[in-house]
Amino acid sequence: MSSPTPDRLAGTPVVTGFFDKRTFSVQYVVADPETRACAIIDPVLDFDPKSGATATTSADEILAFIEREGLRLEWILDTHPHADHFSAAGYLHDRTGAPTAIGEKVRGVQKLWQGIYHIKGCCPADGSQWNRLFADGERFRIGNLEVEVLFTPGHTLASIAYRVGDTVFVHDTLFMPDGGTARADFPGGSADALWDSIQRILALPGNTRVFTGHDYQPGGREPRWESTVDEQRRTNVHLVKAPTREAFVKLREDRDRELAMPNLILHSLQVNIRGGRLPEPEDDGRRYLKIPLDALEGAAW
């Protein structure tokens, strides 16, 4: 893992967050005010586990916003295969033709979860479900905005952050300062790797705007998703309490042992390793999810 580039990236994006109450997720439209080009980061495909219903309401709201604001969609970006919601990347690509992208280490996540689901024949572990796989340190543009990809494993073995101009989209590494840090106990996760990824983000300039992928509303407050690197350094509750690698790994692993798995982890990973596409219909025309029993040994109930 290389160090983050210290120079300031070109551009100051306009960032709009869309909070999904069901999953406490934040979806983003990141726009270049000069060219009106934009990207969508971590879009949600709606799913109700009680009825099995799916919908595109959240994704359609984002598309309506883009149209209303006169923006031009250039990218559909995921930070990692999510464990708590379905990705809408595949749906949005089909609707708009905009390319989808994720980090190149997704192949490792695909291979791992193929084994858990026993679905090797129908989901190649080569990342071909996305239009582009980003390497650590790779750069690209959203209009005139310069974007740098940072490999930030720990929550998953494939997690990346997107540094866009004076912002960074960190998803499941840091939460808001009063929420602490993300869990690292999923298959392929590592609290030790998460510490390194957090330090990489905190090495960015202090005024860098930090956008997180979830907000669990500590104390029942209203949803929030923007802080700065400086705020995170000074006030993140987990980092203040555990300022060294050893203390952080212990805190994170102790907390993770007490956390139940996300409600949708076994539902969502089989969709998200396919680039946000649902399983193909079977001979009766219906699509089916596959739930492996006793696959996540040791998970808290």
Domain boundaries of the chain, sorted by first residue: 14-269
As to burial, measured by CB atoms within 10 angstroms (0-12 exposed, 13-18 middle, 19+ buried), residue 57 is exposed
- Residue 2: what pLDDT? 52
Q: Which fold has domain 14-269?
A: Metallo-beta-lactamase; Chain A (3.60.15)
**What is the predicted pLDDT for the residue at 6?**
52
**Tens-digit pLDDT profile for the chain (301 aa)?**
555 455 678 889 999 999 999 999 999 999 999 999 999 999 999 999 999 999 999 999 999 999 999 999 999 999 999 999 999 999 999 999 999 999 999 999 999 999 999 987 778 999 999 999 999 999 999 999 999 999 999 999 999 999 999 999 999 999 999 999 999 999 999 999 999 999 999 999 999 999 999 999 999 999 999 999 999 999 999 999 999 999 999 999 999 999 999 999 999 999 999 999 999 999 999 999 999 999 998 888 8
Q: What local confidence, expressed as pLDDT, does residue 297 receive?
A: 86
- Do 88 and 43 touch, CB atoms closer than 8 A? yes
**90 phi and psi, to 5 degrees?**
-65, -45
pLDDT at 120: 75
